[in-house]
Amino acid sequence: MNILVFGAGSLGTLLGGLLARTHDVTLVGRDPHAAAVRESGVEISGAVEAHTHPDATTDGEGREADVALVTVKAFDTEDAAAALASGDYEAVCSLQNGLTEETLARELACPVLAGTATYGARLTGPGHVVCTGVGRVVVGDRNGGRHPWAERLGKAFRDADVRTLVASDMPRRRWEKLAVNAGINAVTALARIENGALASGPGSETARRAARETARVARASGVDLPTDRAQSALETVIDATAANRSSMLQDVDAGRRTEIDAINGEVVRRAEEHDLRVPTNRTLADLLRAWEDGQDVR
């Protein structure tokens, strides 16, 4: 399969590099990373080890592929959608944080699939990504049910030895992912701790409150996400990624803008639509936004 990965950050580089074991892959990213990949390939170390040779470019305009995987930061989704709209794809799948699929679907004529990925990844230098934990990729129709391109994409991942599930209940899984991210990302970023520190201790209850609030907003939005399921998913990810530094913590460490607006901020925005109070998510969002303002990165 011909696959374009739009957003060659940590996760995009890891998945693109793994897919390149079997498929024709092009990474869209920034230099010097893209230049290093073109010259020497992708070096994957850690929980998975591989050295593959996808193509790489800094120009995402006018591209063609069977499928495009979107792995840019949530705040770059509109720009990614505009670039993808200038190309030709049979399907596009978001593996981003947040509920970004609708933004993509507004700009694109092809089917837009939803996806989640719990593989841990960290870029350590141009062309080098560390897999910090083997998770699973889940893809499916964003509106629920089966979709032929979800089946094809799932097979493409599995052919490259990436643990993958094709799911028919993506509306619930999208909100479940949001609940997990709402519980982990901001808390770890503010406390400067690895995910495993949320298994117990002072931050654990804050993370669980954020996940519970998110589940309540999901139900108000017409998505059946029981509170116990959201909490169970949170605990599973904390355990499976205990050694990981969340993407938001990595952003704070690097002094970059975070995805707080698309995670806890999105929970707050959706809660306001239903006149619900989500004080934990609101506080976490306010604190990260205050940090961004102080760093002048918003």
Q: List % helix, strand, coil for the chain (3-state, nearest 5).
A: 50, 20, 30
Active-site residue numbers? 177
How far apart (Å, rounded) are the C-alpha atoms in residues 255 and 46?
25
What is the separation of C-alpha 245 from the centre of its chain, rounded to a whole number of angstroms? Answer: 14
Looking up tokens 């970059």, which residue turns up? 256
Who contacts 71 (Cβ-Cβ below 8 Å, separation ≥6)? 5, 6, 7, 8, 9, 11, 12, 15, 95, 96
99 C-beta neighbours (distance < 10 Å), count: 21
Length of the chain: 298
Residue 220 Cα distances to 47, 96, 120, angstroms? 39, 23, 31
Which helix or strand (DSSP H or E) is residue 140 part of? strand 137-141
What is the separation of C-alpha 88 from the centre of its chain, rounded to a whole number of angstroms? Answer: 23
**Can you give the C-alpha Rg of the chain in angstroms?**
18
Task: Let me know: does 252 contact 258? Beta carbons within 8 Å.
Answer: yes
For residue 145, with 0-12 CB atoms within 10 Å meaning exposed, 13-18 middle and 19 or more buried, which class applies?
Answer: exposed
